[in-house]
Structure 1
Amino acid sequence: MRLTFLGVLTALLALTLGGLVVPAPATAAPPRVVSRAVSFDVENTNATTALCLPDNESYRLHARLVGPARAIEGRSGPLRINVLVHDEGTGSWSWHLRGRGLRGYDYATRLAERGETSLVIDRLGYGASGHPTSTCLGAQADVLHQVVQHLRSGRYDFADPRLGSTPAAAHVVTHGLGLGAAIAQVEAATFDDVAGLVLMSWTDRSATQLAQEELGRQRAACLSGSAAAPAAGAAAFRQQLFAVAPARVQRAAAARRVPVPCGDVLSRAPMRLASGLGAGQVDAPVLLLYGGADALTRPSARTAQASAYPTRTTTRTFTGAGSALPLERPAQVGTTVLRWLDQSQG
């Protein structure tokens, strides 16, 4: 019987290995991702330079931990938690968008599938979190600092007490979108307690005419005595935030838009000033992300923003994308952020 070269080689390998079959290395399966409701006890106070007057009362801030089951169950060793801070008029859903036909547009889950754990918060005045009679953007940064400290100590609660103790964070990285980026920047500059900043669609340099018109509409409503500025119309909302997201994603986002608390509206000027001055005090590495078709920030201002930080800064612009980057270019944004986390955080 004639033996081919391959047959002889196979026989020799079998003899050498004692007849054992050695399988090819398997590709690691993605971790099992879970999303768990949590809450924090916070004080509506302001220790930042963004001057404004909160009510100094205690509130409950609600959020969700999204990540690998092992991490959220406290079985993964030292943990990095990414705190996701939403823009005005939106909410935690902008980072954790779920629903029929929306698979792939959930930023927190995309990170979790690569081993990252995120805290997706509803800021005070939004969603299930407390709604103060008086709050402001400086207080939002102060509350974010309190959340970071609670994460470090593990002093917060699962909504379901049967889940036991909440995991503590060895490191915290804050991600902010739009006004949420300003809040994250002022928190980092004031308290110096985060390991990195991912700032999307924000500049403290100058805004477009469209952004100024929207702020003017909000201010007029608030100065007339309203507690919150009504949400922008669905068409205006989509024009402000989107350029390339599928229509189903834009409709889902527009259906979830909410009024903007007047404390946030009327404290924009001191917040922008504090953000601009604070950029030079940020010690953590910074990732700046922009959409090339962002209707709310001027291209020249985006370029200038990177030069404001004394620390290592990386800038990326996504061609054709609008302001709502996690919903506009989810795959590219997620990949960029994950690569930066690997490189900058170790």
Structure 2
Amino acid sequence: MRQRLATALVSIAGLAITGASLSVPAEAAPITAPAPAPAAKAAPAKLAKAAKAAKVANRSVVFDLRNLNQTSALCLPGGGAHLVRGRLVGPRRDVNDAPGRLRVNVLVHDAGTGGWFWNLRQAPRFDYATQLARRGETSLVLDRLGYDRSPLANGNATCLGAQATMLHQVVQHLYSGSYGFADRRGEDDQPPHATHVVLHGHGTGATVAQLEAAEFADVAGLVLMSAPTAGPSTLALREGAEQLGRCLGGGGYAAYGATPARFRELLFASAPAKVRRLATARRNPTPCGDVSSLLGAVGSAALSAGGVDVPVLVLSGERDARAGALDQRAAESMYSRSERVVARTVPGAGSALPLEAGAPSVRSTVLRFLSGVRPTL
């Protein structure tokens, strides 16, 4: 596994030699879709949907973070304090009534997407955070620094080591309750504390989440979707080199996928047309500091994977255009200290697993995994 990763990293470096230097440096068991539920009459179905929706709260929160790098992924962020924003999505009683301590799932997005990836409310069937909330889970949907509601003027002023360090700060703030609602409704309107945190990461977000879990050891579980550690494809290598080239043109930000069509090619295989349109309209440019530090971050995440000692769920798409699948044996070898490792491949799916046709099966697999995650603090 490490030899395959080393070969891939050398390939990235070879493609990326365009005048800039980067920062220092068997098939898995498929998910089986559940049988469709019997159709219900229209009026009761609408009433049930409305009742469920009324029980889910979706509120903006804000964290005061430091743009520092305390990981082994060597890169130099610009420092300073920044407000990083997100949304708490969960059962109304848990989000609004400050119950004290509960599990919080922190959802970490990929390059080129944003918090919307996990909370696509215009397509409710594919709204990962809300669908988990209807099953009793509370999630924090983050906009990482440099994305959407967490703006950063200079995209070169952060990097993936800093993103992992800021994620660690978020985890600590969740445990202490030292963050706030953006729409605070009174002195007693306090956000909940977390008794344990599970990180969910997609793509580059999976690299960030894995780095945090391995190097700060303060979470109870790890869900990795379409992680690049399984080995990047030729298309992914080419896109990485081209994106780095766009960064060299200046501006501090570069599109992930030079065109909307390329963006869709990289992420999707089976998503409905509506979901693809919604996602393409919301795609974000990537901070160039994240682009230039990707090689070092992927390498550090792979080398530190053996330090992850909490349960790990690895999900891959059978038709992922960017990375291969990590099978059960390889996953167990990579996360050798973990008490429980589960690797699954989603049939017919591309990279964007929560937005692909198999999204309900993905969520069911995640919920089964979460049922076995226990507090570590």
Calculate the TM-score normalised by the size of structure 2. 0.81
Q: Is 1:285 the counterpart of 2:311 in the alignment?
A: yes
Moved more, 165-174 or 199-208: 199-208
Note the C-alpha offset of 1:239: 0.8
What amino acid does structure 1 have at the position aligned with 2:347?
A: T
Query: Separation in 1 of the partners of 2:213 and 2:193?
Result: 19
Give the alignment partner of residue 251 of structure 2, picking from 226, 229, 251: 226
Kept in 1, the 8 Å contact 2:100–2:194? The answer is no
Counterpart contact for 1:79–1:171, Cα < 8 Å:
yes
Quick check: 1:124–1:132 contact (8 Å CA) kept in 2? no
1:322 is matched with which residue: 339, 350, 359? 350
Question: How far apart, CA to CA, are the structure 1 residues paired with 2:60 and 2:101?
Answer: 21
- Gap change, CA 1:209 and 1:302, over 3 Å in 2: farther
Pick aligned residue for 2:60 from 37, 41, 55: 37
Q: Could you tell me which residue of structure 1 aligns to residue 333 of structure 2?
A: 307
**Residues 275-334 of structure 1, C-alpha deviation per residue, up to 9 Å, x if partnerless?**
011100011110000111111112468863442002121011110000000001221111
For the 8 Å contact 1:203–1:305, the answer to whether it is kept is: no
| Equivalent residues of 2:314, 2:326 under 8 A apart | no
**Does residue 220 of structure 2 align to residue 199 of structure 1?**
no
CA shift, 1:188, in A, is 0.6
Cα pair 1:205 1:305 within 8 Å, conserved:
no
Does structure 2 conserve the Cα–Cα contact (< 8 Å) formed by 1:203 and 1:301? no
1:255 aligns with 2:281: yes
Give the aligned length. Answer: 317
Amino acid at match of 1:52: C
Equivalent residue of 1:104, what SS?
helix
Give matches, 1:53-202, under 5 Å: 53-74=76-97, 76=99, 78-99=101-122, 102-131=123-152, 133=154, 134-162=157-185, 164-202=189-227
Q: How far has the Cα of 1:224 moved from its partner? A: 2.6
For residue 210 of structure 1, the aligned residue among 230, 235, 246 is 235
Which of 333, 343, 361 is the matching residue for 1:332? 361
Alignment partners' CA distance in 1, 2:223 and 2:255: 29
CA-based RMSD? 1.8
Code of the aligned partner of 2:149: A
- Mean alpha-carbon deviation: is it higher for 138-147 or for 200-209? 200-209
Q: Distance in 2 between matches of 1:153 and 1:145?
A: 13
Q: Distance in 1 between matches of 2:61 and 2:111?
A: 22
Q: Indicate how the Cα distance of structure 1 residues 283 and 184 shifts in structure 2: closer, same or farther if over 3 A, else same.
A: same
CA distance in 2, matches of 1:84, 1:111: 12
CA distance in 1, matches of 2:332, 2:286: 28
Q: Which AA in structure 1 matches 2:78?
A: D
Contact 1:34 1:68 survives alignment (8 Å): yes
Other structure's SS at 1:162 match: coil
**Which structure would you say has the larger Rg?**
1
Could you list the runs of 5+ residues in structure 2 that have no partner in the other structure? 1-47
Asked if the contact 2:230/2:325 (under 8 Å) is kept, the reply is no
Give the distance between the partners of 2:327 and 2:126, measured in 1 at CA.
28
Paired AA for residue 374 in structure 2: Q
Counterpart residue type for residue 363 of structure 2: G
Indicate the residue corresponding to 1:342 in structure 2. 371
Change in CA separation of 1:247 and 1:154 when aligned onto 2, cut-off 3 Å = same
SS in 2 for 1:50: coil
Q: Tell me if structure 2 keeps the 8 A contact 1:141–1:186.
A: yes
What amino acid is aligned across from residue 145 of structure 2 in structure 1? Answer: L
1:244 corresponding residue in structure 2: 270
What whole-Å deviation, never above 9, does each CA across 1:246-295 have from its counterpart, x for those lacking one?
11111110111111110000001110111011100011110000111111
Tell me which residue corresponds to 1:22: none
Distance 2:210 2:56 in 1: 29
Q: Check whether the contact 1:55–1:132 (CA below 8 A) recurs between aligned residues.
A: no
- Separation of aligned partners in 1, 2:286 and 2:159: 11
Aligned position for 1:6: none
